[in-house]
């Protein structure tokens, strides 16, 4: 894994997923086609963009509710 660079991608993704509730982890795994048995599918930039987009969407809906 180290030689192929997979470890550098896997650990940050695994840590990010671990900090989220189970339903959000399941959603990310499914939408991004992340396979916990195949670390080469864990791409940090892909997950980071997904999480960011979810946060932006949540912020927008929160702002609409406040108006």
Give tens-digit pLDDT for 8-28: 777 888 888 888 778 778 888
Given this model, what pLDDT does residue 37 score?
84
Q: What is the pTM of this model?
A: 0.58
Smallest CA-to-CA distance from 9 within 51, 47, 37 is with: 47
CA dist., res. 28 & res. 66, Å (int): 28
Given this model, what pLDDT does residue 58 score?
59
Tell whether the model's pLDDT for residue 66 goes beyond 50. Answer: no
CA dist., res. 57 & res. 21, Å (int): 17
């Amino acid at each position: 894994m180290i030689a192929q660079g997979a470890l550098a991608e896997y650990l940050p993704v695994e840590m990010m997923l671990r900090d989220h509730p189970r339903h959000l982890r399941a959603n990310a795994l499914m939408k991004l086609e992340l396979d916990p048995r195949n670390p080469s599918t864990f791409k940090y930039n892909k997950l980071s963009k997904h999480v960011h987009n979810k946060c932006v969407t949540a912020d927008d809906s929160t702002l609409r509710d406040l108006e």
